[in-house]
């Protein structure tokens, strides 16, 4: 969650003093929180540190490291999906689920 600071000036200060690794950590955390700390593939809930970020379109196929191409995934799903097409893999593994729409609206 976003830290609760005493005044707007504190947020500005925080923003200006943020280092690149901190910004990256915050970004990664924001993506996980956006999906309520659930693996988008199996739908299970996890602690922040247990979740990985999966490239929906694998880097191997030119998938970019941007918010629209990253979703939280448990290690097991991330590993099993590998370089497969996400939708084909997901349907094969879990059948058709509403989580497909979550991903589709995130990546478009
Ligand atoms: Zn999973």
**How many angstroms does the Cα of residue 29 sit away from the middle of ligand 1?**
17
Token pair, residue 76, equals 């097991």
Taking the centre of ligand 1 as the mean of its atom positions, its distance from the CA of residue 27, in whole angstroms, is 20
Q: What's the CA-to-centroid distance between 24 and ligand 1, angstroms?
A: 23
Asked if pLDDT for residue 14 goes beyond 70, the answer is yes
Q: How far is CA 79 from CA 2, 88, 97, in A?
A: 30, 15, 20
Token output for 35: 């999906």
In whole angstroms, what is the distance from residue 73 CA to residue 10 CA? 33
C-alpha 54/C-alpha 70 separation (Å) is 5
Centre of ligand 1 to C-alpha 33, Å, is 15
Rounded (10°) angle between helices 86-94 and 99-107: 170
The Å distance, Cα 21 to ligand 1 centre, comes to 26
User: Each residue of 49-84: pLDDT tens digit?
Assistant: 999 999 999 999 999 999 999 999 999 999 999 999
């Amino acid at each position: 969650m976003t830290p609760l600071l005493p005044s707007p000036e504190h947020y500005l200060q925080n923003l200006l003093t943020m280092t690149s690794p901190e910004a990256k950590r915050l970004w990664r955390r924001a993506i996980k929180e956006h999906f309520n700390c659930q693996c988008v593939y199996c739908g299970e809930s996890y602690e922040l540190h247990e979740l990985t970020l999966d490239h929906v379109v694998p880097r191997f196929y030119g998938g970019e490291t941007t918010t629209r191409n990253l979703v939280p995934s448990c290690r097991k799903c991330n590993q099993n999906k590998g370089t497969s097409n996400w939708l084909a893999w997901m349907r094969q593994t879990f059948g058709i689920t509403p989580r497909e729409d979550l991903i589709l609206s995130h990546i478009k």
